[in-house]
Amino acid sequence: MVGICIGQGWDDALTVDGSVRRQPDISEDFCFIWVLDICPMTTIQADEVKIMNGVTSAQFISAGIHFYPRCGYKRLSEQAIAEHLNSNLETFNRMFADKDEFVKAMLIEYSNRALGRVSFDFAQNIEDTERLYQIVWRLAVTIREHLAWIHRMLLDSEEGVDLITKALKKQHKMLAYGMIRHIKKCNGREGVSELELLNQFEFLNGAVISPMIMNTRYRMLGILTDEMNGRHEDLLTDSSIHQRIDWAFAALFPQYRSKARPF
């Protein structure tokens, strides 16, 4: 998913032919991590940065990005962020209407910096199965590098932070639509039902992506066996990710032939 961005809510529907129909839902005035967007994203522009008392809004946002994985939404203190920048709460409140507006801006900037390199709209001239392989690979590496953020967002969602729950829900929806669309192209046969496509997506996701998220979570909870805990980092290596993708593709797509991949 290069092109993960934050934007307005969308009322999406998966059509019979596997395409995605997107309609703006103007009733949802919140930002979400828009995984699968194909437009290029940039970081904060100079004309978007507010400056007050020698401190910029970009500095506040960067400080929030620094503290969020450790603090989460509820313990992310506006006062602490201001003090970290040798500023004050009054300056913060002049730049951001409320905490939610600040967190939205923080999510936008974080996604631009860290998650803006995965796209379903690249190298359209290569074979469909290889293209899907590259998409899954890039997605897996992106998730691996940002597990701390993912786990914090999951915790915040579990604790009832509505803004984060909506972000995660939209992210999963857009990911599913994009992946299913590409899985459909790789099937090589007609008449594949939407249920089967969904099942194939769940299989691929469960084989490649979920182990990184769930095993890391299990490790944090202390419920992995000693042997699995000791080999946890090995399962996050490039070679292990490539191996899981190869296994999944061999099961899903009979025409797939494994290639030597640079580790």
Q: What confidence score (pLDDT) does residue 8 get?
A: 30
Tally of domains in the chain: 2
- Residue 263, judged by CB atoms within 10 A of its CB (0-12, 13-18, 19+), counts as exposed
Distance CA 247, CA 1 (A): 21
Q: Of 132, 144, 146, whose CA–CA distance to 246 is shortest?
A: 132
Q: What confidence score (pLDDT) does residue 31 get?
A: 31
Q: What confidence score (pLDDT) does residue 30 get?
A: 28
How do beta strands 55-56 and 51-52 pair?
antiparallel
Do 134 and 222 belong to one domain? yes
Do the domain assignments include residue 9?
no
CA dist 22 → 68, 196, 240, 258, 263 (Å)? 31, 22, 35, 35, 37
Do 61 and 90 belong to one domain? yes
Final residue in a domain of this structure, among 71, 88, 112: 112
Would you give the distance in Å from CA 91 to the centre of its chain? 31
Do the domain assignments include residue 257?
no
φ/ψ of 32, rounded to 5, equals: -145, 160
How do beta strands 5-7 and 32-34 pair?
antiparallel
CATH of the domain at 104: 1.10.10.60
Q: What confidence score (pLDDT) does residue 99 get?
A: 94
Averages of pLDDT over runs of 10 residues in the chain (263 residues) are: 31 35 32 32 45 77 94 94 92 92 90 71 83 92 92 95 90 86 88 92 95 90 90 93 96 84 63
Q: What confidence score (pLDDT) does residue 262 get?
A: 63
Final residue in a domain of this structure, among 90, 112, 134: 112
Q: What confidence score (pLDDT) does residue 238 get?
A: 95
Q: What confidence score (pLDDT) does residue 50 get?
A: 64
Q: Of 56, 59, 77, 57, whose CA–CA distance to 68 is shortest?
A: 77
Do 77 and 130 belong to one domain? no
Do 96 and 192 belong to one domain? no
Do 248 and 128 belong to one domain? yes
Final residue in a domain of this structure, among 112, 141, 162: 112
Do the domain assignments include residue 77?
yes
Q: What confidence score (pLDDT) does residue 114 get?
A: 67
> Which range marks the domain in which residue 159 is found?
122-252
What is the C-alpha end-to-end distance of the chain, expressed in Å?
20
φ/ψ of 22, rounded to 5, equals: -115, 130
Q: What confidence score (pLDDT) does residue 171 get?
A: 79
Q: Of 263, 161, 143, 148, whose CA–CA distance to 208 is shortest?
A: 143
Q: What confidence score (pLDDT) does residue 252 get?
A: 94
